[in-house]
A and B are shown apart, each in its own frame.
Chain A
Amino acid sequence: MNGIDYLVYTFLGISVTFNMLGSIALHRFPDVYTRLHGATKSTTFGTIFAVFAVMAHAFYRLHVTGDPKYLQMSLHSLVALVALLLTNPTGAHAIAKAAYLTGYKPKKAVVDSYESRIAGHVKAEPEEGEVKP
């Protein structure tokens, strides 16, 4: 056991915690949009830390053994992370817009400005005096 082991354990613990939290958030929240919040953010964050753990492990093994296999492992997991970070929020937008256009309104919503845009009233100017500081 040395310092790098504790670093890897910490990263793995954060990763597992947030992936688990993302899957529990799917059952805790009432409708599609709030579920998307929990799922997208938590699982993206958990995967970032899984990649960090693998990179720390691989660089340590590279330092010890000098095997280029571990350099490939860390660089390839970094490329996977970049692909995931670019695609995940865009997929969330696509699902949210599709859910709204299919007709599922947000439950328990206090304000829904998007409804007037869909109905054709493009001008949804905020009224003066409505907003209290």
Chain B
Amino acid sequence: MPFMVAFIWAYILWLVLTAGTKGLGWNVQELVAGLIFAIIVGYATRDVVGERANRYLNPLKWLEFIPYAFVVFWGMIKANLDVAYRVITGRIRPGIVRVPVDLENDAQYTILSNSITLTPGTLTIDACPDEKALYVHWINIPKGQEEPKNSKPVSGPFEDWARRLGK
């Protein structure tokens, strides 16, 4: 039920933001006020969240995001060294390529697009679920990769990650 998803995440956010009000924990007023506001938020957004959000109540789902965070962080380190190299030398070969992908729902497209934007040399311009493709601006296209057949040369391992995380 969508009410529970919004309620739980709003309450967790409240707990994180009010930690340290009594010693290192919470005092009772903050806990009660957070409960009231989380109920209001959950009730107000029950039509917006949607039925499919139930899968984010599963704690095992969130454990999978921990190795993903490390993979993305390593990709960001490489991306920034790459950008530093291109800022200093000015050596670019830009272009917009069409990348066919094999994904099903919107969450997978969002995760893959954001991963592509934060990892080396690529920036998603548009996602088209109707033709199962992403349009990606690539700052330094290797010779012979102007029309890639799959997302391997563009995003590395992130299509598999997106498929697993957004399921």
Asked if chains A and B are in direct contact (CB within 8 A), the reply is yes
> Which A positions have Cβ atoms within 8 angstroms of B?
18, 21, 24-25, 28-29, 31, 33-34, 36-38, 40-42, 44-45, 48, 68-69, 71-72, 75-76, 78-79, 86, 89-90, 92-93, 96-97, 100, 106-115, 117, 122, 124, 126-127, 130-133
Asked if A111 and B97 make an inter-chain contact with CB atoms under 8 angstroms apart, the answer reads: yes
- Which residue of the partner chain A has the closest CB to B82? A41
Pick the interface stretch among B35-43, B50-58, B143-151.
Answer: B143-151
Question: Is B31 positioned at the interface, with any CB of A under 8 Å from its CB?
Answer: no
Whether A114 touches B96, Cβ cut-off 8 Å, given contacts A21-B83, A33-B137, A131-B149, is: yes
Whether A113 touches B135, Cβ cut-off 8 Å, given contacts A18-B80, A68-B24, is: yes
Asked if A114 and B20 make an inter-chain contact with CB atoms under 8 angstroms apart, the answer reads: no
Asked if A113 and B117 make an inter-chain contact with CB atoms under 8 angstroms apart, the answer reads: no
Question: Is B162 positioned at the interface, with any CB of A under 8 Å from its CB?
Answer: no
Question: Is B33 positioned at the interface, with any CB of A under 8 Å from its CB?
Answer: no
How far does the alpha carbon of A44 sit from the alpha carbon of B75 in the complex, in Å? 13
- Which residue of the partner chain A has the closest CB to B77? A45
How far does the alpha carbon of A42 sit from the alpha carbon of B139 in the complex, in Å? 15
Asked if B92 and A97 make an inter-chain contact with CB atoms under 8 angstroms apart, the answer reads: no
How far does the alpha carbon of A86 sit from the alpha carbon of B17 in the complex, in Å? 18
Cβ distance B124 to chain A, nearest Cβ, rounded Å: 6
- Which residue of the partner chain A has the closest CB to B97? A113
B contact face: mostly helix, strand, loop, or mixed = mixed
How far does the alpha carbon of A45 sit from the alpha carbon of B92 in the complex, in Å? 21
B19, B93, B95, B143: which contacts A75 (Cβ < 8 A)?
A: B19
Cβ distance A73 to chain B, nearest Cβ, rounded Å: 9
Q: Note all chain B residues with C-beta closer than 8 A to A33.
A: 94, 96, 123, 125, 137
Q: Note all chain A residues with C-beta closer than 8 A to B143.
A: 132
Q: Note all chain B residues with C-beta closer than 8 A to A36.
A: 123, 137
Asked if B123 and A40 make an inter-chain contact with CB atoms under 8 angstroms apart, the answer reads: yes
How far does the alpha carbon of A108 sit from the alpha carbon of B118 in the complex, in Å? 23
How far does the alpha carbon of A104 sit from the alpha carbon of B122 in the complex, in Å? 18
Q: Note all chain A residues with C-beta closer than 8 A to B96.
A: 33, 106, 109, 111-115
Question: Is B126 positioned at the interface, with any CB of A under 8 Å from its CB?
Answer: yes
